[in-house]
Chain A
Amino acid sequence: MSRASGPRSGDAIFASVERVNAELFTLTYGAIVRQLLTDLEEVEEVNKQLDQMGYNIGIRLIDEFLAKSNVSRCVDFKETADMIAKVGFKMFLGVTASVTNWDADGTCCSIVLEDNPLVDFVELPDTCQGLYYCNILSGVIRGALEMVSMKTEVTWTRDMLRGDDAFELQVKLLKQVPEEYPYKDDD
Chain B
Amino acid sequence: MKIKQYSNVLDKPLSKGKQEVSLSAFSFLFSELVQYNQTQVDNIAELERRLEDAGYSIGARVLELLCHREKGNRRETRLLGILSFVHSTVWKVLFGKVADSLEKGTENEDEYMISEKELLVNRFISIPKDMGTFNCGAFVAGIVRGVLDSAGFPAVVTAHFVPVEGQQRPRTTILIKFAEEVLRREARLG
Contact = CB atoms under 8 A, between A and B. Distances in A.
B22 A18 contact: yes
Interface stretch (B58-66, B74-82, B107-115, B127-135): B58-66
Nearest to A17: B22
Given A23-B94, A57-B29, A35 B53 contact: yes
Interface stretch (B33-41, B164-172, B173-181): B33-41
Contact of B50 (A35, A91, A115): A35
B187 interface: no
Given A23-B17, A115-B2, A31 B24 contact: no
A94 B17 CA distance: 14
User: Chain A: interface secondary structure?
Assistant: helix
Interface residues of B, number: 39
Interface in B1-44: 1-3, 5, 8-9, 15, 17, 19-26, 28-30, 32-33, 35-37, 40
B54 to A, nearest CB: 4
B9 A122 contact: yes
A20 B28 contact: no
B120 interface: yes
A120 interface: yes
Contacts of B162: none
A121 interface: yes
B29 A28 contact: yes
Contact of A28 (B23, B26, B65): B26
A165 B29 CA distance: 26
A110 to B, nearest CB: 14
Contact of A49 (B36, B53, B65, B93): B36
B150 interface: no
Interface of A: 14, 17-25, 27-32, 34-36, 39, 49, 53, 56-57, 60-61, 64, 91-94, 114-117, 120-123, 136, 160, 165-166
